[in-house]
Amino acid sequence: MRKGSITVFFALILSIIIVLICTATESVKMMCARTQIANGADVGMYSLFAQYDRDLLERYHLFYLDAAYGTGTLQMSEAYRTVKAYMEPILHQNYLDLSIASGGITSFVLATDCGGRPFFNQAVAHMRDGLNHSEIQFLAKKVLEDSKEAAYWQEKGKQIEGYHFLEAYEEEMARAGNESAQAEAELPRPEEIRAETVVENPIENPVENPINTIREIQNRGILDLVFADSSILSKQEAAVSQFLSSRYLEQGMGILYPAATQSSVREKVLFQEYLMQNLGMYLQPSGSALKYQMEYILEKSHSDKENLERTAQRLLWIREGVNFTFLYADPQRRAQSAALAAAIASGFRVAPSVEVIERALLFCWAFGESVLEVKALFDGNQVPKIKNPQNWILPLENLSNLPIELSVQQPGGEESGMAYGHYLRALLYLEPESEQVMGSMDLIEADIRSQPGRQNFRLDCCLEAMEAAVDVEVNQTRSYTVLHRYGYY
């Protein structure tokens, strides 16, 4: 029988190998533990954000988690408990002894943070996914051009009304009337005049003066003019004091969201297109708190009727600017108005200024044409951007019959004209972006609140992104911290 032996050198080598094997085994275990912890964090965060608000997604194509959980109060601790609850089963799946020692939320972003920037970006991203590059470029170009024209003509219309042509006309007619009466009183008495002398009577006014008719019509509201039956309009009113824009908002925590930058023209246009497609307006009423939602974003009043009236007034200013400018430059219609002004002035012994009467006539004529066009817009028709002799509607001789003209269906206008929706886009582009964002969030929150069981819904409690840190103990000897971030966008 042979005897074996081992040298000291081999014993040393073997001990080193055993240490290496144990170290490698422990390293593999720790790597497995870290992987399992990371997978657990993934599952926890994904499971949390899988509980998105379905009403927001189905109605407005927005991904948000209601972090108030129906209570009306932000519950970020509940969000962390959800992550932890879904994470723990993953940590207990194998032989490793993994347990959560501590943890918490380090950062989170709410829909209304940075003036509603997360909401704005989600809306823009949704529209960008549905339109190709050429469509976006065409839309941006058209809205930019229309908004510039709308801004110019709206200001022009305000200036024209600011000239107070009708007030100047009334003052001039009163002056002429007083001087005519005085001249009449200074005539010789009949008994002092020889029998063969014939005293001329004051010239009777041979024409109908449409200015007085327009003055009476202007005392009526614009809605009463363009709608034969204003009772068909929405009488909905909302408690604006309870809207999101009227209260203190919850704020996110930490730096998860980039600093707000100025939006590009395309982003603004895409956001407006999102509003046009998802919110209501006069021609397509929608919503619960208010039916005319786009008009609310423009005017911010508590009632549908008042928002619509203010929007109609803006449209009237725009059209007055277009129409008065055309009339003033058109030789044929200037000749008509000058002839009528002269005929009106001839009815006085001391004639008033024909120029004052003519300017008042031009203003009344432009006003009548503009009212007809605003009515056409609310009827769903288009009106031409710029007027010419061919697309002018109202003859001067029919100006006194404007109420009758309003009862007649007007033609739809040119195919290249602008419809009510085009004007809403143009006017909306002129509004500050912050006003558009806050106004639209007001309406979306109010609409969700009208759903059964959602009366406590708050958009400023809607979570878009979150970062959580979790400390996990491994075999009660070592601890790892996982920092996980997730968001919808």
In a domain, 268, yes or no: no
Q: Domain check: are 175 and 89 in the same one?
A: no
Q: How far is CA 145 from the centre of its chain?
A: 18
Q: Domain check: are 483 and 445 in the same one?
A: no
Q: Domain check: are 313 and 221 in the same one?
A: yes
Say what the pLDDT of residue 325 is. 96
Q: How many CB atoms lie within 10 A of CB 397?
A: 12
DSSP state at residue 285: -
Q: Domain check: are 23 and 149 in the same one?
A: no
- Which residues, in sequence order, are bridge partners of residue 104? 469
CA pair distance 468, 181, nearest whole angstrom: 90
| CATH code, 20 | 3.10.450
Q: Domain check: are 157 and 88 in the same one?
A: no
Inter-residue contact 458 to 87 (CB < 8 Å): no
In a domain, 289, yes or no: yes
Q: Domain check: are 443 and 471 in the same one?
A: no
In 3D space, the residue among 470, 55, 464 whose CA is nearest the CA of residue 250 turns out to be 464
Inter-residue contact 40 to 83 (CB < 8 Å): no
Number of domains in the chain: 2
Q: In angstroms, how far is the first alpha carbon of the chain from the final one?
A: 78
Q: Domain check: are 300 and 319 in the same one?
A: yes
In a domain, 368, yes or no: yes
CA pair distance 116, 113, nearest whole angstrom: 5
The torsion angle over the Cα atoms of residues 423, 429, 435 and 441, rounded to 10 degrees, is 70
Give me 82's structure tokens: 């959800």
SS3 192: helix
Q: How far is CA 37 from the centre of its chain?
A: 46
Q: Domain check: are 290 and 180 in the same one?
A: yes
Inter-residue contact 101 to 471 (CB < 8 Å): yes
CA pair distance 64, 254, nearest whole angstrom: 18
Q: b/e string for 213-231 if b means 16 or more Cβ within 10 A?
A: bbeebeeeebbebbbeeee
The torsion angle over the Cα atoms of residues 235, 367, 420 and 55, rounded to 10 degrees, is -30
- Which residues, in sequence order, are bridge partners of residue 171? none
In a domain, 122, yes or no: no
Give me 133's structure tokens: 């590059």
Give me 123's structure tokens: 């809306």
Q: Which residues of the chain have pLDDT under 70?
A: 1-6, 26, 184, 186-206, 255-261, 409-415
Q: How many CB atoms lie within 10 A of CB 358?
A: 21
Length of the chain: 489
Q: Domain check: are 296 and 433 in the same one?
A: yes
CA pair distance 362, 370, nearest whole angstrom: 12
DSSP state at residue 175: H
In a domain, 259, yes or no: no
Say what the pLDDT of residue 412 is. 56
State which residues form the domain around 400: 141-192+207-247+279-449
Burial class (CB in 10 A: 0-12, 13-18, 19+), 173: buried
Q: CA separation (Å) from 425 to 147, 151, 436?
A: 8, 12, 12
Rg (CA), the chain: 37
Q: Can you spell out the DSSP letters for 327-350?
A: HHH-HHHHHHHHHHHHHHHTTSSS
CA pair distance 298, 25, nearest whole angstrom: 68
CA pair distance 479, 102, nearest whole angstrom: 10
In 3D space, the residue among 103, 114, 171 whose CA is nearest the CA of residue 484 turns out to be 103
Measured over the CA atoms of residue 446, residue 451, residue 452 and residue 457, the dihedral's sign is negative
In a domain, 256, yes or no: no
In a domain, 18, yes or no: yes
Inter-residue contact 381 to 412 (CB < 8 Å): yes
Farthest-apart Cα atoms in the chain, separation: 178
Say what the pLDDT of residue 107 is. 94
In 3D space, the residue among 455, 438, 435, 457 whose CA is nearest the CA of residue 56 turns out to be 457
CA pair distance 281, 23, nearest whole angstrom: 71
Say if strands 65-66 and 98-110 run parallel, antiparallel, or are unpaired: unpaired
DSSP state at residue 264: P
Q: Domain check: are 31 and 156 in the same one?
A: no
DSSP state at residue 158: H
The pLDDT tens digits of the residues spanning 347-363 come to 777 788 899 999 999 99
Q: Domain check: are 79 and 223 in the same one?
A: no
SS3 462: strand
Say what the pLDDT of residue 196 is. 42
Say what the pLDDT of residue 1 is. 55
Q: Domain check: are 154 and 18 in the same one?
A: no
- Which residues, in sequence order, are bridge partners of residue 108? 253, 466
Give the DSSP H or E segment for 470. strand 462-474
CA pair distance 285, 156, nearest whole angstrom: 31
In a domain, 252, yes or no: no
In 3D space, the residue among 434, 435, 442, 444 whose CA is nearest the CA of residue 53 turns out to be 444
